[in-house]
Amino acid sequence: MKIRTSFIVLLIISASLLFGSYSPSQIPLDSPIYQEIDLLYRLHGIPLPSASRPWNTNEAVQILNMLPQQSPYQELKEQAWQRIQTNQTEGFSSKVTPTLALEAYTHTNSTDFKTFDDWIYSYDERQPLFDLTVSLQFSKSFLFETSLQAGVGGYTEKDSETTVGAYGIGAILNPGSAKLVTSAYLYRRIFNTNIPTADKALEADFPRHSQLTYAGPWYAISLGRGPLSWGQGSSGNLVIGSHISNHTSLSASFFSPNTKVQLLYLFFPDLSTSNAGSRIFLGHRIEFRPLGWARFSISENIMANADHLSPQYLDPTYIYHNIFDADNVNAIASIEADISLAKGLSLHGQFALDQLQLSSEGADVADAVAYLAGVTYSWSQDKGYWTALAEVVSVDPAMYRREKVDFLVARDLMKHQAHLQPMIIDYLGYSYGSDSQVLQTKLSYYSPGLFSAEGSVTIHRQGELTYDAPHHENPDSNTDSPNISGPSPSGDSVTERLIVGLKGTYYTGWRNLVLYAQANWIGRRIYHRPTKTYADEASDLQLVMGMKIRF
C-alpha cells in the first residue's frame, strides 16, 4: 500500500512537471539530488549518469526520466523529483533568498596543524555567515543569479607568512613574487566561528555562486562562478576536482539520454609580479553509453597563456594535441569508465595523461600519468540506503607540472591591497596533488529527506614533489622540464597521513533548517627511506558543528 501511495504521489509530481516548464538554473554541487540520483541508478543496475557536474535542471529531468517508472525505490525517486524547480510563469519573475549559516570549529593541536592544508574542513568548505541570493528570470530559458555574502575571509594580519622561495611555485609564481601563509590565525586557534569580528577580515572574494544561464530541453549555456567536477571519484578527480569553490567558468553542454558533449572554459587571472599573463583552461568532453551496463567519458584539454592564445584554439572541434607550442600551451587528456556489474554494485575508473615519452624520443622529461579506480556497493535497509566504497589513486610526481604552463592554481586571499600578497595554492585536478598515493574507504547511510551519516578512512602518502618544490633536479629548478619520475611517492622523505572521519547531516523539515557536524582525526608522520625510520609524528582532532537555514 505504501509503494502504491508513493507511486501515485510520484505521478502527480511528474504530471505537474510535464505540463509546466523547468527552471533553466544550474543545480549546485552540494544539492542532495546528486547523491539521490546516483543511488537510484546504482540500485537499478544502470551505469551512473553524467559525471560532468553541475547539471542543468533540464538535464536532471532527462536523467530522472531514464529510470524505470515503477521500482522498489519510489520514495527516493519522489524525493529527487521534489528538488526539481519549475517555472512559475512564462514571463519575468524574481526571487530573493536569504541564507544564514552558523559554524563553529575546534581542534586539539594548534602547534602542528595551523594552515589551510592541515584542515579537512578548510577555506573552500567553510560557509559565509550570511548569503543573499538574487535570481532574475527573464523567460522560461534565461536566468541571471548572483549573491551577496558576508563571511570570514581566509587571511588576517595575525597570520605568519613566508615569501615564495627560490624555485617559485611551479610556472605560476616566480621567486619572491608572493607570500604563503605558514601559520593562519583562524586555523591555529583552538576555537573559532564563522562570525566576523574585529580580528577577522570579511571575505572579499564573492559571489561564490552565480550564473547567467540560457537553457532548454537538450542544451545549457552558462557563465558564472562556483565549483565544478569531472568524474565519479570519492577522494577527488584527476582533471577537474570539486575542491575549488570559486571557479569562473563558461560552459556549453548538449545532452541526450545516452550522450553528452560539454565545452568548458575556466579563467585564471595573473597574480604574479612578473606579468606572466592570465591563463585559460579549454576543455571538451564527450560522454557516451554504448552498452546498457557501461558509460565512458573522454576529455581533451589544454591550459593556455591567454595573452598568446590563438583563436583557432577556441574551435571546440579542434584536436588540442595537434598543438606544438610548449611555451604557451600544456595539454592533458583523460578517459573515464562507469560500469554497472549488478544491481547495487558499480565500478568507476579514471586515467589521465599529462606527458608520456615514446621510446623513440630522447628528451629528458618524466612521464606524467595518473589513475583512479574504485568499487561501490549500495543496498536498501528499512527506510534508508547504505553505501560502501573503496578507492585507490596514484598520481605521478610530474603530473600537473611543466616549466612554462602547468595546472597549478593560485588564489589571492587579500584583494584590493597591493602591499598584501598572501596566496592559497591548489591543483586544478586531484586535490591531493602531484606525487600522491591515496587509499580511501567509506561507509554511509542515507534516509531520504531526514538525515545522512558517513564514516571514512583515508591513507595519503605524499612524496617530495609538492607544489612548492622544484620539479627538475640536478640542478633544482622550475625553469626546466620535469624530470622526477614515478612511481609515487618519490624521494627519500615521504609524508604519511591517516585521516579518520565521521560526518552527519540532519534535515529538520522546519523552515529548511539543516544541522550538520563532522569530526576528523588526522595522524601525520614522515618516513625516511634511507634509514627506514619515522619522525615528526603529530595528530589532531578537528570538530565542526553547523546549522543553515534558508528563508
Closest CA to 483 of 498, 472, 495: 472
- Please report, for the domain that includes residue 55, its CATH number: 2.40.160.130
The model carries a pTM of 0.93
Residue type, 192: N
Share of the chain above pLDDT 90, in %: 77
Q: Kindly report the CA angle at 56 between 53 and 59, in degrees rounded to 5?
A: 95
Above 60 in pLDDT, residue 380?
A: yes
- What pLDDT shows up at residue 317? 85
| Cβ count near 293 (within 10 Å) | 14
- Span 356-372, average pLDDT: 79
- What pLDDT shows up at residue 8? 43
- Return left, alpha or beta for 24; rule: phi > 0 is left, psi -120 to 50 is alpha, else beta: alpha
Domain that holds residue 409: 2-550
Span 388-434, pLDDT tens digits: 999 999 999 999 999 999 999 999 887 656 555 789 999 999 999 99
CA distance linking residue 155 with residue 200, whole number of Å: 8
Farthest-apart Cα atoms in the chain, separation: 74
Span 281-296, pLDDT tens digits: 999 999 999 999 999 9
- Return left, alpha or beta for 74; rule: phi > 0 is left, psi -120 to 50 is alpha, else beta: alpha
Q: Which comes out higher in pLDDT, residue 120 or 315?
A: 120
- What pLDDT shows up at residue 9? 42
3-state DSSP call for residue 448? coil
Count: domains in the chain: 1
Span 153-168, pLDDT tens digits: 999 889 999 999 888 9
Question: What is the pLDDT confidence band of residue 88, given thresholds at 50, 70 and 90?
Answer: low
Question: What is the pLDDT confidence band of residue 361, given thresholds at 50, 70 and 90?
Answer: low
Rg over CA atoms, the chain? 23
With b meaning 16 or more CB within 10 Å and e meaning fewer, what string describes 261-282?
A: bbbbbbebebbbeeebbebbbb
- What pLDDT shows up at residue 11? 43
CA distance linking residue 459 with residue 534, whole number of Å: 16
Span 483-502, pLDDT tens digits: 999 899 999 999 999 999 99
